[in-house]
Amino acid sequence: MANSKAKSSHDDEHLDAEQKQPLKAEERRQQILTMVQSQKTVQLDHLARELGVSRMTVHRDLDLLESRGLLRKERGGATAESSLLFESNFHYRSQTDEGIKKELARAAAELVEPGSAIMLDDSTTTLMMCDHLELIENITVITNSLAVCERLRGSSNVQLIVTGGNYSDTHKSFSGLICEQALSQLRSDWVFLSASSVIDNRLFHQDQEIVRVKRALMAASERKALLLTSRKFKTRALTQFADLTEFDKVFIDRQLDEASKQRLNHSRIDFDLV
């Protein structure tokens, strides 16, 4: 009888082990990042217990995530990194204001006509436009974004042109001289951009390399559209790359505060609330 119980207990443990398959390394690191972002501070022992891995494995994961600027490793755990570098990180940006970005992308995509050529920057807001671009016949999409490339590479209606250049995993995009030279030899009907911050009707970004790419994208396009979440009017970034008056269309979500609306109206900035 005792042997039967022992065998039953062993079978249960084996079943649990089969049901709880270990996560792949990148999946595990993404889960760590999600936990740190939501809880702000997470203890190493808690991470090891929740993920079912050793403390040493968690140590290595935290070292890698810290090297990418995604969190700050501290004794016994990790905390969310609140620096400008963290806020420019692709994985962080892709998880903020997702619903709002989808609405902005839907409105912006209505500007794209069949047979046209457009440019998309590496923002997670313009990335959302890909869902709508797959429904428009015979368009050319030019981008420095690896995420856009991954999203549209199987779309039969899209001729996809990727700039190449120096790859950044932080931004999941290309920049540098090769990227800028490629853009200088191309021309599009529309370019769709976003920004990290809006200060006194001027647009800013944290990374000077990305600023150069945004300027190159704008120079290579006939018309320019800007997609902004209202959050961008309350944040700060380092380097100016454009003025709101340079854009033919500006899309902002309806949560924009009244003071910002009045300032835009006073400056005669034409914008759509979506």
Identity of residue 9: S
Q: Number of C-alpha atoms within 13 angstroms, CB side, residue 223?
A: 12
Q: Quickly count: other Cβ atoms within 10 Å of residue 247's Cβ.
A: 21
Q: Work out the angle between the directed axes of helices 55-67 and 25-39 (0-180°, nearest 10).
A: 80
Dihedral-angle region of residue 17 (phi above 0 means left; psi in -120 to 50 means alpha; beta otherwise): alpha
Residue pair 88/207 in contact by the 8 Å Cβ criterion = yes
pLDDT of residue 82: 54
pTM for the full model?
A: 0.70
Give pLDDT tens digits along the chain (274 positions): 545 444 444 444 443 433 446 678 878 887 887 788 767 789 999 999 999 999 999 999 998 887 766 678 888 888 876 544 445 555 555 556 788 999 999 999 999 999 999 999 999 999 999 999 999 999 999 999 999 999 999 999 999 999 999 998 878 899 999 999 999 999 999 999 999 889 889 999 888 899 999 999 999 999 999 999 998 998 877 789 999 999 999 999 999 999 999 999 999 999 999 9
pLDDT at 26: 77
Paired with 228 in beta bridges are: 252
| pLDDT score for 85 | 47
| Predicted local confidence at residue 74, as pLDDT | 86
Would you state the pLDDT for residue 21? 61
The three-class DSSP label of residue 64 is helix
Element spanning 7, H or E: helix 2-19
The helix-helix angle for 55-67 and 44-51 (nearest 10°) equals: 110
User: C-alpha dihedral over 220, 123, 72, 212, to 10 degrees?
Assistant: 10
Quote the CA–CA distance of 232 and 250 in Å, as a whole number: 13
Instruction: Give, in order, the Cα–Cα distances in Å from 24 to each of 15, 70, 114, 189, 258.
Output: 20, 19, 41, 42, 46
Q: Per DSSP, which regions of the chain are E strands? A: 41-43, 71-74, 77-80, 117-120, 139-143, 158-162, 166-168, 173-175, 188-193, 197-199, 202-205, 221-228, 239-243, 249-252, 272-273
* Token pair listed for 155: 């779309």
